[in-house]
Amino acid sequence: MTAWQQVAGQHALNLDTIQKADKQIAPYSVHTPVLQSDALNKHCGASLWFKCENLQRTGAFKFRGACYALLQLTEREREAGVFTVSSGNHGAALACAGQMLGIAVHVGVPRTAPQIKKQNIAQYGARITELEPGMAAREAFTAEQQTTSLAMFIPPYDHPWIIAGQGTAALELIKHQPNLDCLIAPVGGGGLLSGTCMVGQSQELAVYGAEPETVNDAWESLRNGKVAPAKGPLSICDGLLTQLGEHTFSIIRSHVQDILLVSEAEIISAMGLLWQQLKIIVEPSSATVMAAVLKYPGLFEGRNVGLILSGGNVDISRLGLRSLFDEA
């Protein structure tokens, strides 16, 4: 049993925890805007309220959980520092929160992770160790850290602290717009969706998860009653490739209305619609929720829908912006 598993066992998770997290992280996190679009409302025949976690510090909701987790450490644990393994948003979130709180952060990053993701972690002063791709190197790194240092492992999603932190996005959303009928969030490891479920349930809202159909392990997990393994890198939604954890599965299974599957083409199309109409950059993982609302109109038409846009970390340098201004 790892250190964080021991901690996890000691901490109950309920709406009070999320409210406590909300208060504790408020001095550090961005109270992200909630946007609406006349055109998208008309297009969907629903009233859509977009919680913009792409505008969160480090460009993703992950900052919320990472920050709340670090705020729970004792003075001695703070001094020992923390570590994690991440190729993306969780690593940057932990590095940023660590820098703000004066806690040393060490991130194991797969050698093959995109350069922009490594830079995003490095800019917050975290120590980076490059790992070979795959589970074996991750586990070796984790084991080595646990024997050679006192640093605590901060997992990306399957921990009550992380789930409570991620739930603050939905909490801010329902405070901003109290008359919602339902909430929808992307599901990968399930941290964001679990937190959203707990908030939604407290208001008796239907909560949906949105998942790429190419990596439909959460959908399968619900149907089979046990955590299905990750499918591999088969979706452009690089934030949604992981499988559910023990805590997140348990919460999602109890509270979620359903997991809605969307295709890669539907995700790209929804992403373009969000960029065009909301004037914001969202990453494909975020666009799953818009794609789901478009694909399952029977669930959403005529309703007040809260959509959590999880992040906006895409590599703009690959777009060739100049081409926007060539003669048509």
Among 122, 137, 234, 280, binds a second copy (CB under 8 A): 280
Determine the Cα angle at 61 with ends 219 and 218, to 5°.
10
The reply on whether position 275 binds a second copy by CB under 8 A is yes
Which of 227, 170, 215 lies closest to 193 in space, CA to CA? 170
Residue 271 in the binding site for a second copy (CB under 8 A): yes
Single out the residue of 67, 69, 61, 70 nearest to residue 88, CA to CA: 61
Please identify which residue in the block is written with the tokens 């598993």.
5
Any idea what DSSP says for residue 70?
Answer: H
Q: What is the DSSP string of 171-227?
A: HHHHHHSTT-SEEEEE-SSSHHHHHHHHHHHHTT-EEEEEEEGGG-HHHHHHHHTSP
- Which residue, 216 or 277, has its beta carbon nearer to a second copy? 277
Position 327, amino acid: E
- Site membership for a second copy, residue 48 (CB under 8 A): no
Q: Which of residues 250-269 bind a second copy (CB under 8 A)?
A: 268
> Among residues 38 and 75, whose Cβ is nearest to a second copy?
38
Q: Give residues with Cβ within 8 angstroms of 7, minimum separation 6.
A: 159, 161
Residue from 107, 106, 110 nearest 135 by CA: 110
Q: Using CB under 8 A, which of the segments 182-190, 213-221, 250-258, 272-280 binds a second copy?
A: 272-280
Give the pair of three-digit tokens for residue 269.
């199309």
Q: Does 105 bind a second copy (CB under 8 A)?
A: no
Choose between 15 and 234: whose C-beta lies nearer to a second copy. 234
Residue 49 CB, shortest distance to a second copy, in Å, is: 13
User: What is the C-alpha separation between 50 and 34, in angstroms, rounded?
Assistant: 5
To the nearest whole angstrom, how small is the minimum distance from the Cβ of residue 284 to a second copy?
7
Q: Is residue 76 a contact point for a second copy (CB under 8 A)?
A: no
Find the part of the chain contacting a second copy (CB under 8 A) among 129-137, 219-227, 275-283, 291-299. 275-283
Nearest distance, CB of residue 252 and a second copy, angstroms? 27
Site for a second copy in 286-325 (CB under 8 A): 312-325
Residue 55 is a binding residue for a second copy (CB under 8 A): yes
Residues binding a second copy (CB under 8 A): 33, 35, 38-39, 42, 54-55, 57, 59, 96, 114, 123, 236, 268, 271-272, 275-276, 278-282, 284, 312-325, 328
